Amino acid sequence: MKTLMEMSREIYGHNGRAINRHSERVYRDAHSQRYVLSKNLDGFPPFFEAYGPFKAEHTGVLPRLCVQGKEYWGDGWTWRVAVQAFCQQLRATITTA
């Protein structure tokens, strides 16, 4: 089982970076691969997306990570439930600094 370290949390959107508002958490594994778990706050209901793995130097569109076989998932879920599904998909646990 891999371990992911939470690196950051951010809320952004309705600006030049993104049309929709997102709440995003970024994780790193032992090989410096990064993963993103993003909650689209403008969805009705709000939903989740995941990306990874990718290197810090990655440019362009991030690789999508399907959770439960879907690119968009977790309609109306809490962060706790979404993190559990994300970890189950990756066979990972999450730690914080």
Region 74-90: what's the mean pLDDT? Answer: 96
Question: Does residue 28 contact residue 40 with C-beta atoms inside 8 Å?
Answer: no
- What values do phi and psi take at 85, rounded to 5? -65, -40
Q: What is the pLDDT of residues 31-61, one digit of tens each?
A: 999 999 999 999 889 999 999 999 999 999 9
**pTM score:** 0.91
Instruction: Check whether 17 has a pLDDT greater than 80.
Output: no
Lowest-confidence region among 13-22, 23-32, 88-97: 13-22
Of 24, 18, 34, 30, the residue nearest 82 (C-alpha): 24
Q: Is 90 exposed, middle or buried (0-12, 13-18, 19+ CB in 10 A)?
A: buried
Q: What's the confidence (pLDDT) of residue 97? A: 66
Q: What's the confidence (pLDDT) of residue 19? A: 83
Nearest-angstrom CA–CA distance, 63 and 36: 10
Residue 22 token pair:
């997102």
Q: What's the confidence (pLDDT) of residue 4? A: 97
Instruction: Check whether 29 has a pLDDT greater than 90.
Output: yes
